[in-house]
């Protein structure tokens, strides 16, 4: 599987303040990648550089094989960006918002694309209502649908569930999974640990302008010492007997599962260790 995104030693500073010091990672095509970090860690700066809105001070980055600095126009043709806040026109209907984007992109089958994404995001019933009447979750869905007009190969979702209620967040998670299943590479930034753990194939932890850990959720959890094991028995009676005399009973154990730390434990440990090292 090819890399959709490749970042090598990327650096960026603002007015002498080093925001990104040495950022590097790769993202596989068709996967969900989560950039995890606290507020101010530099997540949005990474997204703005990869989406060609900013230029790095050093290092390099490639999107779909194109250099984000020297081939910015080609990069923009294969990506789409959804920011932290929904960028929709409240005066227009949901259908009109999507149609406008399709016409601006000069798509050949605008009507078909509009209907496709209205269906995908379950917005058909509200398609002809003004967006001013939409809930926050519906606006977020429409915002992402607008980003997907033209079927970009990579979509950047910067804090996509910020401000959503729990039910809308879960619905958004399902939609993000659906995007990846349809072949879209999803680059997700989030500060919600459970969101990264639930959605991402790979996670990179950004702290103080550098990647301090990267891997699958399971691999990151396995970095820390195991805290014991959970043993499962077929019946409560067998479990009780085993507790009294496990070695002598000869009772079959149906499963042994490592009791790994949560992703929250991993994140806090990595960040604290990094801060202690810096001190």
Whether the per-residue pLDDT at 107 is higher than 70: the answer is yes
Cα(215)–Cα(161) distance, rounded to whole angstroms? Answer: 23
Tokens of 193: 């640990």
Q: What's the pLDDT score for residue 154?
A: 95
Least confident of 13-17, 31-35, 92-96: 13-17
Choose among 193, 204, 233, 253: nearest CA to 33: 204
pLDDT band at 197 (very low <50, low <70, confident <90, very high): confident
DSSP tag of 262: P
Task: Look at 151 and 63; give whichever has higher pLDDT.
Answer: 63
Contact predicate 137/159, CB 8 Å: no
Write the pLDDT tens digit of every residue in 34-57: 998 888 888 989 999 999 999 999
Distance in angstroms (rounded) separating the CA atoms of residues 148 and 210: 30
Q: What is the chain's Cα-based Rg?
A: 22
Domains with residue ranges and CATH for the chain: 3-224+262-278 (3.40.50.300), 229-258 (no CATH)
Neighbours of 215 (CB within 10 A): 15
Question: From the DSSP assignment, how many helices (H) and strands (E) are in the chain?
Answer: 10, 12
CA 240 to chain centre: 43
Q: Give the C-alpha distances (Å, rounded to integers) separating 12 from 1, 41, 102.
A: 29, 12, 34
Terminal C-alpha separation, the chain? 40
Question: Is the pLDDT at 70 greater than 90, yes or no?
Answer: yes
Give the residue with greater pLDDT, 186 vs 220.
Answer: 186
Percent of the chain with pLDDT over 90: 47
Q: How far are the Cα atoms of 63, 86, 94 from residue 126, in angstroms, in the given order?
A: 35, 17, 7
CB 172 within 8 A of CB 160: yes
Q: What is the largest CA-CA distance in the chain?
A: 75
Q: Are 273 and 232 in contact (CB under 8 A)?
A: no
């Amino acid at each position: 599987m090819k890399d959709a995104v490749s970042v090598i030693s990327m650096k960026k500073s603002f007015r002498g303040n080093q925001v990104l010091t040495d950022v590097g990672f790769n993202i596989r095509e068709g996967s969900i990648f989560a950039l995890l970090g606290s507020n101010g860690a530099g997540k949005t700066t990474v997204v703005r550089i990869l989406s060609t809105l900013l230029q790095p001070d050093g290092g390099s980055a490639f999107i779909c094989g194109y250099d984000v600095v020297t081939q910015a126009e080609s990069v923009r043709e294969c990506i789409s960006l959804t920011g932290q806040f929904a960028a929709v026109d409240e005066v227009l209907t949901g259908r009109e918002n999507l149609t406008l984007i399709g016409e601006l992109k000069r798509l050949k089958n605008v009507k078909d694309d509009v209907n496709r994404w209205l269906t995908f995001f379950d917005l058909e019933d509200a398609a002809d209502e003004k967006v001013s009447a939409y809930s926050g979750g519906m606006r977020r869905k429409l915002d992402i649908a607008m980003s997907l007009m033209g079927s970009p190969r990579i979509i950047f979702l910067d804090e996509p569930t910020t401000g959503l209620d729990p039910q809308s967040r879960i619905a958004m998670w399902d939609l993000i999974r659906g995007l990846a299943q349809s072949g879209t590479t999803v680059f997700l930034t989030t500060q919600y640990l459970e969101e990264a753990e639930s959605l991402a194939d790979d996670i990179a932890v950004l702290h103080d302008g550098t990647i301090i850990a990267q891997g699958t959720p399971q691999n990151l959890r396995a970095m820390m010492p195991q805290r014991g094991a959970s043993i499962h028995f077929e019946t409560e009676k067998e479990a009780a007997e085993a507790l009294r005399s496990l070695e002598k009973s000869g009772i079959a154990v149906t499963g042994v599962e490592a009791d790994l730390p949560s992703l929250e434990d991993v994140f806090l440990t990595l960040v604290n260790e990094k801060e202690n090292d810096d001190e």
